[in-house]
Amino acid sequence: QQPVQSPQAVILREGEDAVINCSSSKALYSVHWYRQKHGEAPIFLMILLKGGEQKGHDKISASFNEKKQQSSLYLTASQLSYSGTYFCGTARYGNNRLAFGKGNQVVVIP
Protein backbone atom coordinates (compact mmCIF):
# COMPACT_ATOMS: atom_id res chain seq x y z
CA GLN A 1 0.00 0.00 0.00
CA GLN A 2 1.48 3.29 -1.14
CA PRO A 3 2.12 5.79 1.69
CA VAL A 4 0.71 9.29 1.36
CA GLN A 5 3.14 12.21 1.32
CA SER A 6 2.18 15.81 2.06
CA PRO A 7 2.40 18.55 1.08
CA GLN A 8 2.91 17.79 -2.59
CA ALA A 9 5.25 20.77 -3.03
CA VAL A 10 7.04 23.27 -0.83
CA ILE A 11 8.81 26.46 -1.83
CA LEU A 12 10.98 28.09 0.78
CA ARG A 13 13.74 30.64 1.01
CA GLU A 14 17.27 29.74 2.02
CA GLY A 15 17.47 29.56 5.81
CA GLU A 16 13.78 28.80 6.35
CA ASP A 17 12.41 25.62 7.92
CA ALA A 18 9.93 23.13 6.50
CA VAL A 19 8.24 19.89 7.50
CA ILE A 20 7.12 17.19 5.10
CA ASN A 21 5.08 14.16 6.07
CA CYS A 22 4.62 10.52 5.15
CA SER A 23 1.60 8.53 6.37
CA SER A 24 0.53 4.94 6.05
CA SER A 25 -2.69 3.12 6.86
CA LYS A 26 -0.74 -0.08 7.64
CA ALA A 27 1.44 -1.00 10.61
CA LEU A 28 5.03 -0.21 9.76
CA TYR A 29 8.40 -1.54 10.82
CA SER A 30 10.44 1.27 9.34
CA VAL A 31 10.35 4.39 7.20
CA HIS A 32 13.13 5.26 4.76
CA TRP A 33 13.72 8.73 3.35
CA TYR A 34 15.38 9.41 -0.02
CA ARG A 35 16.08 12.57 -1.95
CA GLN A 36 16.20 12.73 -5.72
CA LYS A 37 17.55 15.62 -7.75
CA HIS A 38 16.42 16.12 -11.30
CA GLY A 39 17.95 13.54 -13.64
CA GLU A 40 19.71 11.68 -10.83
CA ALA A 41 19.14 8.51 -8.82
CA PRO A 42 17.38 8.71 -5.44
CA ILE A 43 19.93 9.01 -2.64
CA PHE A 44 19.35 7.44 0.76
CA LEU A 45 19.02 9.95 3.63
CA MET A 46 17.98 8.01 6.71
CA ILE A 47 15.96 5.20 8.25
CA LEU A 48 13.45 5.52 11.05
CA LEU A 49 12.70 2.37 12.99
CA LYS A 50 9.67 1.51 15.07
CA GLY A 51 9.90 2.71 18.63
CA GLY A 52 9.90 6.37 17.67
CA GLU A 53 13.64 6.45 17.03
CA GLN A 54 14.73 9.78 15.59
CA LYS A 55 17.74 10.06 13.33
CA GLY A 56 19.35 13.00 11.66
CA HIS A 57 21.43 13.83 8.63
CA ASP A 58 23.19 17.19 8.81
CA LYS A 59 20.41 19.74 9.35
CA ILE A 60 17.76 17.29 8.17
CA SER A 61 16.12 15.25 10.88
CA ALA A 62 13.11 13.00 11.00
CA SER A 63 10.78 11.31 13.41
CA PHE A 64 8.54 8.26 13.30
CA ASN A 65 5.29 8.21 15.23
CA GLU A 66 4.46 4.52 15.50
CA LYS A 67 0.96 5.09 16.86
CA LYS A 68 0.00 7.29 13.95
CA GLN A 69 2.10 5.34 11.40
CA GLN A 70 3.49 8.66 10.30
CA SER A 71 6.95 10.02 9.68
CA SER A 72 7.93 13.67 9.42
CA LEU A 73 11.07 15.07 7.82
CA TYR A 74 12.34 18.39 9.21
CA LEU A 75 14.38 20.63 6.94
CA THR A 76 16.05 23.13 9.27
CA ALA A 77 17.78 26.30 8.08
CA SER A 78 17.34 25.06 4.53
CA GLN A 79 20.14 25.28 2.00
CA LEU A 80 19.93 25.49 -1.78
CA SER A 81 21.24 21.92 -1.92
CA TYR A 82 18.09 20.69 -0.18
CA SER A 83 16.09 21.21 -3.36
CA GLY A 84 14.78 18.01 -4.87
CA THR A 85 12.02 15.47 -4.52
CA TYR A 86 11.84 13.63 -1.23
CA PHE A 87 10.44 10.11 -1.23
CA CYS A 88 9.49 8.06 1.77
CA GLY A 89 9.61 4.27 1.52
CA THR A 90 7.74 2.22 4.09
CA ALA A 91 8.52 -1.33 5.16
CA ARG A 92 6.18 -3.71 6.89
CA TYR A 93 7.10 -6.61 9.15
CA GLY A 94 8.66 -9.58 7.42
CA ASN A 95 8.84 -7.85 4.10
CA ASN A 96 12.00 -6.74 2.28
CA ARG A 97 9.99 -4.55 -0.04
CA LEU A 98 9.53 -0.83 0.29
CA ALA A 99 6.35 0.94 -0.78
CA PHE A 100 7.21 4.44 -1.97
CA GLY A 101 5.04 7.52 -1.81
CA LYS A 102 4.58 9.93 -4.71
CA GLY A 103 7.12 12.36 -3.32
CA ASN A 104 7.33 15.86 -1.89
CA GLN A 105 8.90 18.41 -4.23
CA VAL A 106 11.04 20.91 -2.32
CA VAL A 107 12.37 24.06 -3.94
CA VAL A 108 14.75 26.28 -1.99
CA ILE A 109 15.30 29.72 -3.47
CA PRO A 110 18.00 32.28 -2.57
Partner 1 sequence: DVKVTQSSRYLVKRTGEKVFLECVQDMDHENMFWYRQDPGLGLRLIYFSYDVKMKEKGDIPEGYSVSREKKERFSLILESASTNQTSMYLCASSFTGQDWETQYFGPGTRLLVL
Q: Which residues bind partner 1 (CB under 8 A)?
A: 2, 29-30, 32, 34, 40-44, 47, 49, 87, 89, 91-103
- Residue 110 Cβ, how far from partner 1 at the closest point, in Å? 26
Q: How far apart are CA 66 and CA 90, in angstroms?
A: 12
- Indicate the residue among 8 and 81 with the shorter CB distance to partner 1: 8
Based on CB atoms, which residue is closest to partner 1, 82 or 87? 87
Beta carbon nearer to partner 1, 34 or 82:
34
Q: For the beta carbon of residue 29, count every other beta carbon within 10 angstroms.
A: 13
**Strand, helix or coil for residue 79:** coil
Shortest reach from residue 106's CB to partner 1, in Å: 15
Residue with Cβ nearer partner 1 (15 or 52) = 52
From CA 48, how far away is CA 5, in angstroms rounded? Answer: 16
Helix/strand/coil (H/E/C) assignment for every residue in 50-76: CCCCCEEECCEEEEEECCCCEEEEEEC
Min separation Cβ 77 and partner 1, Å: 26
